[in-house]
Structure 1
Amino acid sequence: MQQHQKTPWWALALPLLAVLIWSLNIVVTRYVSDFISPVSISFYRWLIAFVLLTPFMLHRVWQARQQIRQHIAQLAVLGAFGMVLYQGIAYTASHYTSATNMGIINAFIPVFTIFVSMLLLRDTPNRFALIGSVLSFLGLLYVIGQGNFAALLAMGHHFGDALMVVAVFFYAFYGVFLKKWRLNLPLMVSVYIQIAFALLFHLPFIIYLGLDALNSQNALSVLYAGIFPSLCAPILWMLAVQHLGPNRTSIFMNLMPVFTAIIALIWLHEQWTIYHTLGGIMILCGIALAQKKNAPSHLRSV
């Protein structure tokens, strides 16, 4: 009994710090959108992460070269979905919507994951998942419509929110692909190769759209994106999963909309309104309900 209560305080701080870093990155993304193009910040972000990881990863990549060859196509798809499509579309969305809305829509990832799992894994959701998904989706529409469902008809006004929904949808695919394929690779090796593919996939966009130069207005934001959300937060999250388990750790992700809204309020002076509160509560309640399982066998598959 005593062992169950022996969770050290620093283990709980790990996922909190990771979510705080990711939340701050959403606000940084919104802030820097006026100073650098989406493709430029996305490319620089992964370039910085790649350069920082390379001295530590080259030997490990060489050792794992046989396994990498076996999974090369899957690693390419993961890099495309998780690091190019999700992140690139999110950077584009930041030009048209608020950081607060981006944080709230980002919380919708678990619900989208349920439906992508249905499509790819034939994983039939239970009644809690279905009810929770519907509730979360209504909450999402309520936020996008700014408290007025009829306003959703004017979709041009919600272009950034719609883009963010698409980005989240791609990230849901990324998570399900990881679960479906269960690559026989060390995690950091997998991440490193995905980053390498992400850089390659950026090249056609850079050739067509050009690459913005780094300057005093965007350099710190790019550096933050390349170090903290790309490297530090995932490592903190992985350590948290080791100490707390995946189920307990995933609950902390629900704090992202709250952290994002607070940071955006202080830094960008964005307003938190009643429709953010009501829609956010609906989304989080729906996500919590969607996590409820009927049987232990489902718990083992999460």
Structure 2
Amino acid sequence: MLLWGGNAVVTKASAGVIGAAEVAFWRWFIATLLLAPFVAPALLQHWAEVRGILGRQIVLGLLGSALFPTLMYVAAAHTSAINMGVIQALMPVMALGLAMVLFGQRFLPVVWLGALVSLVGVAVVVTGGNPFRLSKHGLNPGDATMLAATACFALYTTLMRKWRSAVPETVCLFLQALVASVVLVVPCLLAPGHGIDQRNLPIVLYAAGLASIAAPLLWMAGVARIGPARAANFFNGVPIVAATLAVLFLGERMTAAMLPGAALVIGGVMLAEHFTAPRD
């Protein structure tokens, strides 16, 4: 959670020093190169199974590795790292809604109460404590884009759970990184480029090594040890980490609305998860 919360801060720091399409491409291109030597033996060993799930991995790579981070980098130019972290915490609730729409899952009314509480919390944060402003002014472009990014990741998470296979998760991570690298080549070439320099190189390396490889692998290891239900609660720490690091390293200021808003978001998600997650 520290690495993913830190990624919100690093993403915000990327605004103005490297383009969204550039950093998204280099992030996954470097991650693919780093993963390749370690994943190659398992990829060859499971090649028959990989061929059967290749189409699904392309879809997952488009959603989770290409669209999600690219939209985050676009959002960073128009909103704060604190807002990005709080909005990202909606992901589990969005995933519940998608599971209902796509796969017909049914949940207790209290789950939707938790979802509603979380949505109110986000509205409090993005409107500075006055949710009624949304009816007049709507969301600012950065927060709206971050909501779209979170929806992409929620769909990615929902499909990933539905499409589980016998292929090792490290191989799936490599395939998704490869898909993102290929898809993002053209946007990277067409975008007005900054190029890699001493200002943005640390951002690219953090995103490629820590956010794209280390964090997912640590998450997989954590889920294997304590189970998905208990692990899901740790995701609620992302906005707390993001807010703390944004204040310390970016000089962002906490407003009076942010603390109660974040508490509503996290509380709502925990309430929803409590009544949906199986006991480990």
Return the TM-score normalized by structure 2: 0.95
Equivalent AA in structure 1 for residue 52 of structure 2: Q
Deviations 1:219-238 (A, max 9, x none): 01111111011111112112
Q: Which structure 2 residues correspond to residues 85-234 of structure 1 after superposition, within 5 A?
A: 85-152=67-134, 153-155=136-138, 158-209=140-191, 211-234=193-216
Aligned to 1:269: 251
CA contact (8 A) 2:19 2:192 kept: no
Shift of 1:184: 2.9
Please give the alpha-carbon distance, in whole angstroms, between the structure 1 residues aligned to 2:43 and 2:117: 44
Equivalent AA in structure 2 for residue 75 of structure 1: Q
How many residues align structurally?
279
Please give the alpha-carbon distance, in whole angstroms, between the structure 1 residues aligned to 2:112 and 2:8: 28
Please give the alpha-carbon distance, in whole angstroms, between the structure 2 residues aligned to 1:62 and 1:136: 44
- Which of 27, 35, 38 is residue 56 of structure 1 equivalent to? 38
Please give the alpha-carbon distance, in whole angstroms, between the structure 2 residues aligned to 1:68 and 1:211: 35
Q: Which structure 2 residues correspond to residues 15-94 of structure 1 after superposition, within 5 A?
A: 19-94=1-76
User: After TM superposition, where is structure 1 displaced by more than 3 Å over at least 4 residues in a row?
Assistant: none
Shift of 1:211: 4.4
Equivalent AA in structure 1 for residue 161 of structure 2: K
SS of aligned partner of 2:113: helix
| Greater Cα radius of gyration, structure 1 or 2 | 1
CA contact (8 A) 1:128 1:292 kept: no
The reply on whether 1:299 has 2:274 as its aligned counterpart is no
SS of aligned partner of 2:184: helix
Shift of 1:99: 0.2
What residue ranges of structure 2 are gaps of 5+ in the alignment? none
Please give the alpha-carbon distance, in whole angstroms, between the structure 2 residues aligned to 1:113 and 1:53: 28
Please give the alpha-carbon distance, in whole angstroms, between the structure 2 residues aligned to 1:139 and 1:148: 11
Shift of 1:208: 2.5
User: Is 206-215 or 107-116 further displaced after alignment?
Assistant: 206-215
Please give the alpha-carbon distance, in whole angstroms, between the structure 2 residues aligned to 1:265 and 1:130: 32
Percent of aligned pairs with the same residue? 31
Equivalent AA in structure 2 for residue 221 of structure 1: I
Please give the alpha-carbon distance, in whole angstroms, between the structure 2 residues aligned to 1:183 and 1:146: 44
Shift of 1:272: 0.8
Equivalent AA in structure 2 for residue 299 of structure 1: P
Please give the alpha-carbon distance, in whole angstroms, between the structure 2 residues aligned to 1:186 and 1:54: 14
What residue ranges of structure 1 are gaps of 5+ in the alignment? 1-18
Aligned to 2:237: 255
